[in-house]
Structure 1
Amino acid sequence: MWDVVVVGGGNAALCAALTAREAGASVLMLEASPKAWRGGNSQHTRNLRCMHDGPQDVLVDAYPEEEYWQDLLKVTGGLTDEALARMVIRESSRCRGWMQKHGVRFQPPLSGALHVARTNAFFMGGGKALVNAYYRSAENLGVDIRYETPVDAVEFDGVRFVAVRSGEQRFEAKSCVLAAGGFESNREWLRQAWGQNEQGEWPADNFLIRGTRYNMGTVLKCMMDAGADIIGDPSQSHCVAIDARAPLYDGGICTRIDCVSLGIVVNTQAERFYDEGEDFWPKRYAIWGRLVAQQPGQLAYSIIDSKAVGRFMPPVFEGTQAQTIEELAQKIGLDVSTLVKTVHDFNQACQPGHFDHTVLDDCHTAGITPAKTHWALPLDKPPFYAYAVRPGVTFTYLGLKTDARASVFFNGVRSPNLYAAGEINAGNVLGKGYTAGVGMSIGTVFGRIAGREAALAANQLIQEEANASA
């Protein structure tokens, strides 16, 4: 028997396993994927959103708690547990030293169009390097790691955790951390969550999965069946507009289309449907997948002119290029006259201003719906470019309701030895929306808390057993 079993193999699971091992517990970590694909969605991440009251190593200026909280409040629309959110925010300021101790390296501050040099610390080598560093540290510390071991059952004695099973294998432990992700790779569950739209379509059939194919939601379903307290809307997720040519799984960051705020986005009817310049891109990129999901065919087109080239992170695939809007419409299969009118009406609505993509500038539209609030420049300088986009689901927000100790509950009763971290409890902080890097903040903070609490629970059981036998 192990002291702690950690179910999952991504950032939150690794943070839990490392922390529990540091506390002296024997730890078993069960990862569903083969070794080559270990790390879940964390292998596709790039950065951690960090609170800081002044310049710190790779972070410039300051990003105080209240500003971080207001950013989170805005994107979630208030669908967040403020106490837990503020805990994550405060703890995010204390993560980097611990991460560096386990081999994670950070790169110098970024500049340019991402606007995150002040708020986010970027991993040297990206998420794959972070995951590999954690696994090396875990191996060196003696964490027992089993790959290709998907957990499909959890055993309880009342609300007390007893064991997990993977097929015929049974793993008993004194405590457990569930960090096995959401259900974004489970197409049938996505279909149930989204249902049919007014056109009779099943929107989820056209979703692409930006991350791992191994997040099937099996552990979450086991917990739901066991009567665990659940939080979140199953249709809410980190859902990004990504290149429609992206692979079904594991496209990652490079498939995201980042020129949305520099042009217009139209649906298959060649009509705009949302304010492309509502706020800075890192605070709005994760709403566009859901917006596209609500359009016919779950398909849209991000259109820019040559003025935008060089102002955004280039995507992995080249866009469709044309010298006129008419030619562009023909190439991407949209009604020519409608797209010409949409672009003409947008151009006419653009008001004179001082364009500055690094601030919320005064370039906006007037007399048009939807408005474009910032960075509204006429599309008038050929060549023109179009990028077809589809919804790309990163992770889902339905999960286990937890407290500040990462404890799992059953009808309001706290389990004495079961904890949750990462995507499976992110819905406590993220009811909807997203802002860049906060998922890694949630996973890192709750992972470390869950690992600490699981080690304490295991130690307490050891003491109780020792006292009983004395």
Structure 2
Amino acid sequence: MGTDVLVIGGGNAALCAALMAAEAGASVTLLEAAPRDWRGGNSAHTRNLRCMHDAPQDVLVDAYPEEEFWQDLLKVTGGLTDEHMARLTIRASSTCRNWMRKHGVHFQPPLSGALHVARTNAFFMGGGKALVNAYYRSAEKLGVKIRYESPVDRLEIEDGQFRAAWCKGERIEAKACVLAAGGFESNRDWLREAWGQNERGEWPADNFLIRGTAYNQGVLLRHMLETHQADGIGDPTQAHMVAIDARAPLYDGGICTRIDCVSLGVVVNRDARRFYDEGEDFWPKRYAIWGRLVAQQPGQVAYSIIDAKAIGRFMPPVFPGVTANSLPELADKLGLDRATFMQTLDSYNAGCRVGQFDHTALDDCHTEGVSPAKTHWARPIDTAPFYGYALRPGVTFTYLGLKVDDTAAVRFAGRPSRNLFVAGEMMAGNVLGKGYTAGVGMSIGTAFGRIAGRNAALAAAGKPALAGAVKDEV
């Protein structure tokens, strides 16, 4: 079997690549490891796309200029990002939505309580599942051959050029290939290897839950890095990690398992002690650091504590919290040492300096004389009923990936391949060295999926790759 362009993966980046290549006139085959009912990878769990815009645009209010987007990304990554690649992603996010609409994606204003991102993020009507379904429908109309339950375990590469992929014993040739098969977050053995054993003798990765697909095993990523010695980038312990409900399922819990009340209260560990500033910055810019913070705590568990004043100010989780009429009762119900818990809460409450509380702004409600400090939204937890949510690290996707340039070409010893490209989670580490800000994963996947698809079609036609984002009309 042969095809012009072979796309390996089935999520947003893979679909963008397949659509772009098909639009360019290439014959395209897409191999999705999951069954049809579970197609789409982690993209099926997404909700929105972070978009640069200089003026109001349909569902986006006000403006979110390039420099602000860049500063937001710079802050959450702590400088662990490639500015050229990041700005390419940012600029591409400003013009891609008309193309997305052409392929059946619809947008809607954010629902009430949706992370205060009406200005920065465009929400998909029906969520990521609707986006994925729209792209698959469009791909089928364009003649893309889609094969489910088709995991690829190895590639034939000669002198940096793609020749064929092996799928369940079948050799599939193509003139060009796009790798978009996700990270390794679902591979427990690899997570254990990356995180190792801590000073308490624990294997932290054993307590991680996976927010998304069970099919991102990292088989091709490891194959590329180890067998073919492709240039890599990123730290294998860095990932989009969120503090999620400890009762969430092992896989595919998605957005509804996230606990969004962290900034409205305090978080304590298994020893009933606080360990980080819950009010450091707006929740969309900080929610994805809390999984890693919890992963570093004893037993990889923590507890988000709020009181009645917080109810109605955050997106309610799918599971109800543990409820109590007093703080000592809550400690007992959560299995925490009552004396230490009360010492922590009493100290925090006494340290609160309440000004003009405003959860939509970086307000002046803060603590004094308490470590760690709470910088914003600090109010005493003193109004019954009280609520507690047990938290575990929820891994969305890992950042270890393949190093690329702005053509999305895979590189071998610094030399870009002529016909092998990569997009999505498999290269997101070029932009995300650590940290996260809401919706940027879809921005990266869309930008580089489209670049990879365009350039794969050019390679299949014997033409050189183009650098930079796909040009669209605003």
TM range (shorter): over 0.9
Q: What amino acid maps onto 1:231 in structure 2?
A: I
Asked if the contact 2:180/2:424 (under 8 Å) is kept, the reply is yes
* Structure-to-structure mapping, 1:249-260, within 5 angstroms: 249-260=251-262
Q: What amino acid maps onto 1:47 in structure 2?
A: N
Matched, 1:378 2:380: yes
Q: Tell me, which stretches of 5 or more residues in structure 1 are unaligned? A: 463-470
Asked if the contact 1:110/1:116 (under 8 Å) is kept, the reply is no
In 2, distance between residues paired with 1:92 and 1:287?
Answer: 23
* Structure-to-structure mapping, 1:387-398, within 5 angstroms: 387-398=389-400
Give the C-alpha shift of residue 113 in structure 1. Answer: 5.8
The aligned counterpart of 2:119 is 118
Equivalent of residue 325 in structure 2, options 319, 323, 326: 323
Matched, 1:153 2:135: no
Give the C-alpha shift of residue 111 in structure 1. Answer: 4.6
Give the C-alpha shift of residue 167 in structure 1. Answer: 2.2
Give the C-alpha shift of residue 109 in structure 1. Answer: 4.3
* Structure-to-structure mapping, 1:34-433, within 5 angstroms: 34-112=35-113, 114-225=115-226, 226-433=228-435
The aligned counterpart of 2:449 is 447
Q: What amino acid maps onto 2:116 in structure 1?
A: H
Q: Secondary structure at the match of 2:450?
A: helix
Asked if the contact 2:80/2:432 (under 8 Å) is kept, the reply is yes
Q: Secondary structure at the match of 2:353?
A: coil
Asked if the contact 2:354/2:378 (under 8 Å) is kept, the reply is no
The aligned counterpart of 2:472 is none
Q: Secondary structure at the match of 1:173?
A: strand
In 1, distance between residues paired with 2:292 and 2:111?
Answer: 28
In 2, distance between residues paired with 1:372 and 1:113?
Answer: 23
Q: Tell me, which stretches of 5 or more residues in structure 2 are unaligned? A: 465-474
Q: Secondary structure at the match of 1:460?
A: coil
Cα RMSD for the two superposed structures: 0.9
Asked if the contact 1:402/1:409 (under 8 Å) is kept, the reply is yes
In 2, distance between residues paired with 1:42 and 1:352?
Answer: 40
In 1, distance between residues paired with 2:354 and 2:424?
Answer: 45
In 2, distance between residues paired with 1:111 and 1:145?
Answer: 37
Give the C-alpha shift of residue 85 in structure 1. Answer: 0.1
Asked if the contact 1:60/1:109 (under 8 Å) is kept, the reply is no
Give the C-alpha shift of residue 352 in structure 1. Answer: 2.6
Q: Deviations over 1:196-234 (max 9, x none)?
A: 111000000000000000000001011012110000000
Give the C-alpha shift of residue 461 in structure 1. Answer: 6.9
| Identical aligned residues as a percent | 74
In 1, distance between residues paired with 2:76 and 2:343?
Answer: 32
Give the C-alpha shift of residue 115 in structure 1. Answer: 1.3
Give the C-alpha shift of residue 158 in structure 1. Answer: 1.1
Q: Secondary structure at the match of 1:118?
A: coil
Give the C-alpha shift of residue 122 in structure 1. Answer: 0.1
In 1, distance between residues paired with 2:388 and 2:310?
Answer: 12
Q: Secondary structure at the match of 1:145?
A: strand
Give the C-alpha shift of residue 112 in structure 1. Answer: 3.9
Give the C-alpha shift of residue 108 in structure 1. Answer: 2.2
Instruction: Choose 164-173 or 117-126, whichever is displaced more.
Output: 164-173
Count residues with an aligned counterpart. 462
Give the C-alpha shift of residue 180 in structure 1. Answer: 0.2
In 2, distance between residues paired with 1:203 and 1:110?
Answer: 35
Provide closer, same or farther for how the CA distance between residues 4 and 113 of structure 1 changes in structure 2, counting only shifts above 3 A: closer
In 1, distance between residues paired with 2:245 and 2:344?
Answer: 22
Q: Secondary structure at the match of 1:190?
A: helix
Asked if the contact 1:113/1:311 (under 8 Å) is kept, the reply is no
Asked if the contact 2:270/2:301 (under 8 Å) is kept, the reply is yes
In 1, distance between residues paired with 2:132 and 2:114?
Answer: 27
Q: Secondary structure at the match of 1:269?
A: coil
Asked if the contact 2:154/2:220 (under 8 Å) is kept, the reply is yes
In 2, distance between residues paired with 1:419 and 1:109?
Answer: 34
In 2, distance between residues paired with 1:195 and 1:231?
Answer: 20
Q: What amino acid maps onto 2:193 in structure 1?
A: Q
Give the C-alpha shift of residue 70 in structure 1. Answer: 0.1
In 1, distance between residues paired with 2:369 and 2:342?
Answer: 18
In 2, distance between residues paired with 1:113 and 1:454?
Answer: 37
Q: Deviations over 1:68-108 (max 9, x none)?
A: 00000000000000000000000100110000000000012
In 2, distance between residues paired with 1:243 and 1:109?
Answer: 23
The aligned counterpart of 1:22 is 23
In 2, distance between residues paired with 1:231 and 1:202?
Answer: 24
Q: Secondary structure at the match of 2:174?
A: strand
Q: Secondary structure at the match of 1:452?
A: helix
Q: What amino acid maps onto 1:32 in structure 2?
A: A
Give the C-alpha shift of residue 114 in structure 1. Answer: 1.2
In 1, distance between residues paired with 2:52 and 2:328?
Answer: 48
Asked if the contact 1:238/1:396 (under 8 Å) is kept, the reply is yes
In 1, distance between residues paired with 2:439 and 2:79?
Answer: 19
Asked if the contact 2:113/2:315 (under 8 Å) is kept, the reply is no
In 2, distance between residues paired with 1:95 and 1:192?
Answer: 38
Q: Secondary structure at the match of 2:131?
A: helix
Asked if the contact 1:10/1:42 (under 8 Å) is kept, the reply is yes
Provide closer, same or farther for how the CA distance between residues 461 and 78 of structure 1 changes in structure 2, counting only shifts above 3 A: closer
